[in-house]
Amino acid sequence: EAQVTQNPRYLITVTGKKLTVTCSQNMNHEYMSWYRQDPGLGLRQIYYSMNVEVTDKGDVPEGYKVSRKEKRNFPLILESPSPNQTSLYFCASSPGLQETQYFGPGTRLLVL
Amino acid sequence: AQTVTQSQPEMSVQEAETVTLSCTYDTSENNYYLFWYKQPPSRQMILVIRQEAYKQQNATENRFSVNFQKAAKSFSLKISDSQLGDTAMYFCAFMTPYVEGNKLVFGAGTILRVKS
């Protein structure tokens, strides 16, 4: 089944404790993105990647890192999480620049 | 800045009736794509419909159709014969691939409740 998977789905952590949210797609898509969803703000792009080893900042990159060492994986790293990073995070992928993006199931993160 | 505005935070509709969700956007680009995504209580983001700005014909997908008014920068979603399973948050979004890559710009969303 063609899909985007994320792990973990739920995570509670404390301020400053490094964490990684994994994202994987099995559709051989070139483009991958991370978004965060906050009430009243919709979804906002954090980072995106156009291909292996090619990444760039989105609208809200502060406090996040990403890497794209393999085409199928695009992990999101929070090196020192803070409470303002409490949010719902989505990974998405698309086959090309003008193509529709398909979203993973979301990861709900709570930083205490 | 490119923005999307959904002016209706919440709406409700009776089962089997028709409802229209509004969306306006602001961009100076001529080549862009518009989307409606549905987010049910499961939080999954599900594509409802997509419209290319260069196409004059309004997109339709079964009970879902759009009214795309390019000059007015308006992109409303009409849901016909509403069903209980249509209860969800609906997000309007657009993309300008030749300017900002594959970034989707989202509105704040409209919560739709379908009542029996």
pLDDT tens, residue by residue, B2-43: 899 999 999 999 999 999 999 999 998 888 999 999 999 999
Q: Where are the beta strands (DSSP E) in A1-112?
A: 4-7, 10-13, 19-25, 31-38, 42-51, 54-57, 65-66, 76-78, 87-94, 102-103, 107-111
Residues of A in contact with B93 (CB under 8 A): 42-43
**Nearest chain B residue to A41, by CA:** B108
Q: pLDDT per residue over B40-58, tens digit each?
A: 999 999 999 999 999 989 9
Q: Which amino acid is at B79?
A: I
Q: Give the whole-angstrom CA distance, residue B85 versus residue B74.
A: 26
**How much of chain B exceeds pLDDT 70, in percent?**
100
For the segment A6-14, the average pLDDT, to the nearest whole number, is 97
Over 80: is that where the pLDDT of A19 sits? yes
Q: Is B108 close to A41, i.e. CB distance below 8 A?
A: yes
Residues of A in contact with B91 (CB under 8 A): 42-43
**Nearest chain A residue to B4, by CA:** A42
